[in-house]
Structure 1
Amino acid sequence: MPVWQWLLDAAGGLLLLVLCYGVALIVRRRVLSRNGGTFELSFRVRPERAGRGWLLGLGRYSGESLEWFRIFSLSPRPKRSWERSHLRYSGRRAPEGVEQMSLYPDHVVICCRTDDGADVELAMGPSSLMGFQAWLESGPPGASWERPARR
């Protein structure tokens, strides 16, 4: 068999693998969003360098937690998860410098703090931010609201 046929077979095989990967990403996205909507959510994994360390992903609310999935991963499990009771909203800002090219268009960067004092930076669209703030402020159904007795 001539070399050009080997190269053509290898290119065809590579193209088939890329196509299968793309289909798997689409199926994964459908599976993740079947039990509730997903939204574009970026997470800053390396905050040491200004404007760097952002990874694109998907967010999904699952009960009392916010789950984050990497966008180009095939894993059905979330890469990170934050419990609502352990997350505090600190503020928001517009993307600066290199962040504007690293994030989705029109996204804002929000800063949160966990109970253990760690800072978490997320980026999401304005409508997703409104939903995130509402989710943080709301309590679970049937929550015990301990109020002092009126006198």
Structure 2
Amino acid sequence: MGYVLGLLGAILLAVVLVGALGASRLRTLSRRVGSFPCSARPGTLPHASWSVGIAHYAVGRIEWWRCWSLSPRPTRTWYRDRLSITGRTPLDQAGQTDQYLVRCRYDGVDFELTMSSGAYAGLASWLEAAPPGRRDLVV
């Protein structure tokens, strides 16, 4: 009986520890300067599920971190010179005010992001501020 209680206590402690690490990681990511909430899904599958995440501007790239993960590395990294916006649609008609569906292409692969209008303005400005010769990044 004591062995079972000890095992259950160890499992409970592990669950609490993993939950605390996940919450700490999420808080740290969301409080970084240049971070914004951003969900992603493949663009080729219109009924694919969304992955909730946080995007963060880094030097010449955007790093995208999945919210429900303990990984110390970003799930996706998009470099500015290979990323383009191919379209956007306001999601007001879907009951999500101040949200955009943003269609993107990276190295010939299409994907979609959802973000606030402010985050979209920042993304479009960041892409348009690319070095000379790369002004075709925003439609």
CA displacement, residues 1-48 of structure 1 (integer Å, 9 cap, x when unaligned): x3xx65554443333222211211233235446763321111104742
Cα distance in structure 2, aligned partners of 1:76 and 1:33: 14
Which one has a larger percent strand, Structure 1 or Structure 2?
Answer: 2
Rounded to whole Å, the distance in 2 between the matches of 1:45 and 1:22 is 28
Local SS of the residue matching 2:22: helix
Kept in 2, the 8 Å contact 1:65–1:82? The answer is: yes
Number of matched residues?
Answer: 132
Between structure 1 and structure 2, the one with the greater Rg is 1
For residue 54 of structure 1, give the secondary structure of its aligned residue in structure 2: coil
Output the CA distance in 2 between the equivalents of 1:106 and 1:123.
10
Q: CA RMSD in A?
A: 3.0
The equivalent residue for 1:128 is 119
**Structure 2 length normalisation: TM-score?**
0.75
Structure 1 pair 39–74 and aligned structure 2 pair: CA distance change class (3 A)? same
Go from structure 1 to structure 2 and tell me whether the alpha carbon gap of 1:86 and 1:23 turns closer, same or farther (over 3 Å shift). Answer: same
- Cα–Cα, structure 1 residues 127 and 144, in superposed 2: closer, same or farther, change >3 Å? closer
In structure 1, stretches of 5+ residues that fail to align are 146-151
* Residues 110 and 144 (structure 1), Cα distance of their counterparts in 2 relative to 1, 3 Å cut: closer
Q: How far 1:56 moved relative to its partner?
A: 0.8
Give the corresponding residue for 2:26.
29
Normalising to structure 1: TM-score of the pair?
A: 0.70
Of 1, 5, 12, which aligns to 2:9?
A: 12
Please state how far the C-alpha of 1:107 moved relative to its aligned partner.
3.4
- Per the alignment, residue 47 of structure 2 pairs with 51
Matched, 1:107 2:104: no
Give the Cα separation in 1 of the matches to 2:43 and 2:16. Answer: 31
Q: Which residue among 65, 69, 87 is the counterpart of 1:69?
A: 65
Q: Secondary structure at the match of 2:38?
A: strand
